[in-house]
Structure 1
Amino acid sequence: MSMDREQYCPNCEEDKEFYRAASTTLHLGEKVKWHCPDCDYGFVTIDGINTGATA
């Protein structure tokens, strides 16, 4: 899996390259924590499903 991804950041109000902060394997699939490099906003994906807020 990639170490970064393009994602809209609601705090910065623009698309940013989020970095992969951590990952682990769960019974639901792979859990990955993503963080914006410019602010404190972060979100989690579980088996590719984004749990972050959408704009």
Structure 2
Amino acid sequence: MASELDHDCPNCGEERTFYRTAATNLHLGLKTKWACPECSFGFIRINGDISSASA
């Protein structure tokens, strides 16, 4: 799995490169935590499909 992800950051207002801060396997799939190095905004993805970024 990649340790970098290009994603829109709502705090910075532009696309940033997020870095993986943690990953663990759950019964739903792989849970991955991502963080913006500029402002520390973070979000969680589960199996790449379920995301807390839009919540």
Fold shared per TM-score above 0.5:
yes
Relative to the length of structure 2, the TM-score reads 0.92
Q: % of aligned pairs identical?
A: 46
Counterpart in 2 of 1:53? 54
Counterpart in 1 of 2:30? 30
Residue 35 of structure 1: how far off its partner (Å)? 0.1
Please identify runs of 4+ aligned residues in structure 1 that moved more than 4 A: none
What is the Cα-based RMSD across aligned positions, in Å?
A: 1.2
Relative to the length of structure 1, the TM-score reads 0.92
- Cα displacement string for residues 7-44 of structure 1 (whole angstroms, at most 9, x for unaligned residues): 00000000000000000000000000000010021000
Gaps of 5+ in 2: none
Question: What is the alpha-carbon distance in structure 2 between the residues aligned to residue 40 and residue 18 of structure 1?
Answer: 9
Higher RCO structure (Cα 8 Å, ≥6 apart): 1
Number of residue pairs matched?
A: 54
